[in-house]
Structures are given as structure tokens and as C-alpha cells.
Chains A and B, each alone.
Chain A
Amino acid sequence: MRNPFRASDCWGPAGATATGLYTLFIGLPILALLIKAAQQESFFGSITGEPVLLALRLSLVTSFISTLIVIVVGTPFARILARSNSWILRVVDHLVELPLVLPPVVSGVAMLLAFGRQGILGPTLSGLGISLPFTAAAVIFAQLFVAAPFYIRSAKLGFQSVEREYEDISQTLGVSPWNTFRRLTLPLAAPSLLTGIALAWARAISEFGATIMFAGNLTGKTQTMPLAIMSALETSLDTAVALSLLLLLGALLALIALGLITRRRWTAGV
């Protein structure tokens, strides 16, 4: 096997040190979590409690729905962003990325101010008999807000990576624009789209700040896994550790899936 730190590379020693430190930094907490989980007497006992199961179900259902909405709305949106050079869309493009840098708690406050009872849309919504805060719908809203940019960004880059000439050629072969998108653009951009889906889902299921601000922390109603972990930490460390391990395993699976997906890149001809 080749030495990954080549002597000829001026970054050799520094690179090796940095790699070691970083691996330790990331690895140690995860190792600690695993050790703590292994020391538990009844691992399953601590995660089969009713609140935990409710939180697990809520997290899976809401993250699934929000990811689905992100895909349905985000795909055509990303497609338009990828090909447009109008200044309005360029402004929108930057706006889309705002939630990526905004602290989730701030996003939560902003959403309260927009969709809350006292918010801008509050009277309209309550006029329709809708009250969003402290419902599962609010959980989905919060997840959408923070997770959508991950998918849109990745999908946009994916669509941009499909050279326009491919689509031109496809149309000159008698294939309509829609079928060209379905048969050519989509499969070519698929690795990026799937990466975006995995990232958005991971972000949605781990959402904490915006959720607790906008949806609250009601057991069985708006308490998702991350919120349940925080609540459990106050009463039972074992439950918190077990829940954390569950999320860790989920994240690990997503990471492996991501690796498998992105390994399969098309190598362009010529």
C-alpha cells in the first residue's frame, strides 16, 4: 500500500499531524458514546419507553414528509436556478442559502413571527381555523426551513453539471423537453440529487433549534428525537445515550449510502 503522506509533499508532517488530531477529535466523543452505551444494563429497556417510541415515530414521519416536500418543490426550483442568469433568480439563489448560515434558533423565532399566532400570517391562518405552532405541522415547517437548502444546492449543482449540449442533442433526436429531462437530465444529475436528499433528510431528522422555538417540546406531539434526548438528559442519562446511539446509527447508515451513491459517477465520453 502506498504511503498516503508522501515525503515529497510539503504538507507531509503537518498533514499527518492535522489528520491525527482531527480523527481523534471526532472519534473520541463517538467512542465515548459507544462505551457508555455498552456499559448499560438494559439498552432496549431505555428506548422502549412510550415517550421515546413516540419521539422516534414523530421524527421518522416528519423527516420523511419534509424530505418529500423538499424533493417535490426543490427539484423544479433547482432546475430553474441551474439554468437561469436573470438577476432576480440570482438574488433568490443567495436567499435560499441563508438558512444554511442562520442559527436554527433564529430561524425558529423568524418562523414564529411569520406563522405564529401573533405573526404576520397568524390572523389569516386562524381565520381559516389553522394554528401552526406546537403541532406536528410546525415540526415539518421547521425541518423544511433548515433542510431545503441542502437539497436545492446539491440539486442545482447536479443540474449545472449536465452540459447543455446533451439536452440539445436529445431534442434534435426527436425527444421532447420533458422526456429529455426524464431520460437524460435526471439520470445524469442523479448522484447529486441523491446526495442532496441524504443531506436534507439527515439535517431534518437532527433539527433542534428551530423546532424547539417554533413547535415546542410537547411529548408525543412535537417532541422529536433530538428534543427527546435533551429532555431525557435531565432525568436519565441512559435513555439519552440510547437515543443518541440510535441517531448515530441512522447517520452512519446515511453516510454509507451516500458514499455508495457518489462513488457511481458517470465518466463523460471523449
Chain B
Amino acid sequence: MSPSKRGPAAARGWVNYQIGGFCLETEWEVLPGQIMALFGPSGAGKTTLLRTIAGLLRPQNGHIEIGGQVVFDRERNVWEPPHQRRVGFLTQQYHLFPHLTVAGNIAYGLNRRNSGKTRGQVRELARRFQLEGLEGRRPSEISAGQQQRVALARALAPNPAALLLDEPFTSLDTELRRTLRSELRTSLAQANIPVIMVSHDIEEAVSIGDLVQVISHGKPQATGNPLQVLGQPGQGRVARLVGVENLLNLRVASRHPQDGTMICRSGGLQLEVPLGDPAEGDAVTVGLRASDIILADAEPRGSSARNRLSGLVTGVELRPPGYEVTLTCKDADLKCHITGASLNEMGISPGMNLWAVFKASSCFLVREEADSRDTLL
């Protein structure tokens, strides 16, 4: 039974890997053609997870399936070494083999490298990854973007059953990242295999992942649709991990099931937020992304946005690509992201009085687990 004859299969499994005081304890399931973005701070165990899946690290316990084949199962005493797992692996720096040409790198994982068939395969891959004409160059003689394409072509050449990408965009500049991101999506879609990509960039995770898993301290915190997980994360810990800028501690003042909203207050602050489980009088944490807030220099009338807060600008900070404005409303600080053009047009500077406007539906309730506050990063 040759594994290459099988159709695409999901990559799934769970591992328990301990080293020193660190413990990685996680599970995953990625379908063919699906990209799972593994998101979390550095030291969370993302790269460690990729290395255990590739077989470069041996976990104490677990079960790993790739291409419909069990490559690791401690109880059944199964352990396939990396070169028999059919897992493509891309590192941050790509690690193209410096002593080989572009063509030599692409052909590296192919059998019978001098056969006509192999040469045809290399030519086809070079065409697919827009590397024509570069076949004879050394890795040091091509651009960073081209290096990434060579690394991808090299990883996909032996027809892997799954692909692991470890922050494939770190060594590129911002401009190139955006271009290559969509390019990568397209080529991965063609490959039709499960892909796991490590990222610590929220934008990257959302734009590439079909599925996002947030991981911290070696444990998965949330798994699901990227916009759900990262846009309006339900858990306090996840909210902090993905950098939700505004987390407000309020109390439910009144519930309005007919509107699907409720009013929450704290001090003089009053917010209308989507209706949730908490009863009147309960303490709630409301999350709000800085980019969902509109700033206005006069109270906007006749607007559909339900929340209008007046406040004092207490800080303006450069935060590429735009600016972060801190607006102090009563005793709460609101972080708002605006573009440089808006900042200049409105002449925003500390000491100004402004209005913050946002929809009730931009607010989301954050579940605070008992321990989330003291296990911050």
C-alpha cells in the first residue's frame, strides 16, 4: 500500500510534550485544502508543535496522523522518522541549500534527480512558482521573495501529505508580505493538502487562515473561524493574546431583549452592547477593537451608531500604518486607531475634546475565566 496512491487526507492529532518547565499540550485537525493559522506570542509553543508534527521532536505522548497514516502513536509504539512522514516544512529563513542552484534545491527531495522525468518536474515547478530563468542561480543571488518561492517549490516537489509553515513572512518587508500572502494562498489551494502556518501577526493569521488556533503557554485557547476567534474573541485570555485594545469592566444596568441589546454602565460611562447571558447587575467585560471606533469633533446627530462618548484626548502615538489616539471618557481610556490623514485633517492633539462613535454590534462580551487575569503573558 503506497501512501502516494492515496487521496488527500486530513492532518490531525494531539501531543503532550514536556521539556524543562514547558509543557505543550494541544490537538488539531486540518482538512485537505484548509489552512490553519497557529497564532500566539513567542514562546507559546507554536514552532515546537510544528517540529513534533514533522518528527523533528519526539513528544512524550500523543497521536499524529498525516495523509491518512499514523506517524506517531505512543501507545501503539509507532514512530516514523521525519524522512518517512511526507511532511513539507518551511522555516522562517527558508534555509535554501547554499551549495545548490535553484533547480538543485527544487529537485533535492525528488528521486532519481538526473532522470528526464525529474527535470520535467523541476521545470514545471519553476514555471508554477515563477522561477523560470533563475534555475541556474544560487540562493544568495535571488531576492527574498524568490527565495520564499524556491523554498515552497522545494517543499512541494516530493508531494507531501501536509505542509508546515513557520512564520514564512518574517524575513520579508511589509510591502512584499502583502503581495506574497495572496500568492501563497493561491499556490497552497492548488496543492490541496492540509497546511498549518505559524504566525504572530494577527492580520496575517486572519487573511491566510481558514481556521485559527490561538495558542499560549503550550495550550490551545481557542480554535475556529478567524474572524470569530480574532475579531470578537469570546475569552478574556484570547482577547488579550490577540491584542483587543479596549476591554471595559462594566455592570449590566438593563436588558432589552426586543432590541437584542443591553445597557452597561460603570461610573458615568454608559454603553449599549449586544444582548448576552449576564443578568441585570452582573459584572461584564466588554471588548472593542480600536479600529471600530470613529472619532468626531462634534456630537454626531442622526447617526445609527448607538454609542456616542465624549472624552478628552490624552495621547497620540504613531502606530503604523496609522495613529493610536487615547480618549479619556469619564474614567475609562478608549484606544482608537485612525489614519494619518484623519489626524492631520482634524488636527487632533492632546487636550482636545472629541466624540467616540461606535455601533453596539462592534462591542462584544468577553468571558473572563477565573484564572485569566493572573495568567497574562
Contacts and interface: CB of A to CB of B under 8 A. Distances in A.
A176 B160 CA distance: 15
B315 interface: no
Dominant secondary structure of chain B at its interface with chain A: loop
Contact of A166 (B51, B86, B97, B109): B97
Interface in A162-202: 163, 165-166, 168-177, 180, 183-184, 187-188
A174 B91 CA distance: 16
A174 B147 contact: no
Interface stretch (B10-18, B77-85, B114-122, B334-342): B77-85
B154 to A, nearest CB: 7
A269 B139 contact: yes
B69 interface: no
B108 interface: yes
B5 interface: no
A62 B89 CA distance: 47
B136 interface: no
Contacts of A166: 95, 97
A44 interface: no
B54 A168 contact: yes
Contacts of B147: 269-270
A266 B85 CA distance: 30
Nearest to A163: B95
A174 B86 contact: yes
Contacts of B51: 168
Contacts of A270: 93-94, 96, 139, 144, 147, 171
B99 interface: yes
A268 interface: yes
A166 B98 CA distance: 10
A267 to B, nearest CB: 4
B196 interface: no
A268 B98 contact: yes
A160 to B, nearest CB: 16
A269 B83 contact: no
Contacts, number: 82
Interface in B138-158: 138-140, 144, 147, 154-155, 157-158
Interface in B29-79: 51, 54-56
Dominant secondary structure of chain A at its interface with chain B: helix
B171 A169 contact: no
Contact of A165 (B55, B91, B155, B171): B91
A173 B153 CA distance: 11
B108 A170 contact: yes
A260 B231 CA distance: 59
A163 to B, nearest CB: 7
Given A269-B94, A269-B96, A173 B158 contact: yes
Nearest to B166: A165
Given A170-B108, A173-B108, A270-B144, A184 B97 contact: yes
A173 B154 contact: yes
Contact of B83 (A163, A176, A183, A268): A176
Contacts of B96: 269-270
Contacts of B82: 168, 171-172
B88 interface: yes
Contact of A269 (B88, B98, B155, B157): B98
B87 interface: yes
A172 B87 contact: yes
Contact of A267 (B83, B85, B89, B140): B140
5 contacts: A163-B95, A170-B108, A172-B89, A267-B138, A268-B139
Question: Closest 5 CB pairs between A and B?
Answer: A173-B109, A269-B139, A266-B98, A171-B82, A172-B89
Interface of B: 51, 54-56, 81-89, 91, 93-99, 108-109, 138-140, 144, 147, 154-155, 157-158, 160, 171
Given A267-B138, A269-B95, 13 more contacts: A166-B97, A168-B51, A171-B83, A172-B55, A172-B56, A172-B85, A172-B89, A173-B154, A173-B155, A174-B84, A268-B139, A269-B139, A269-B140
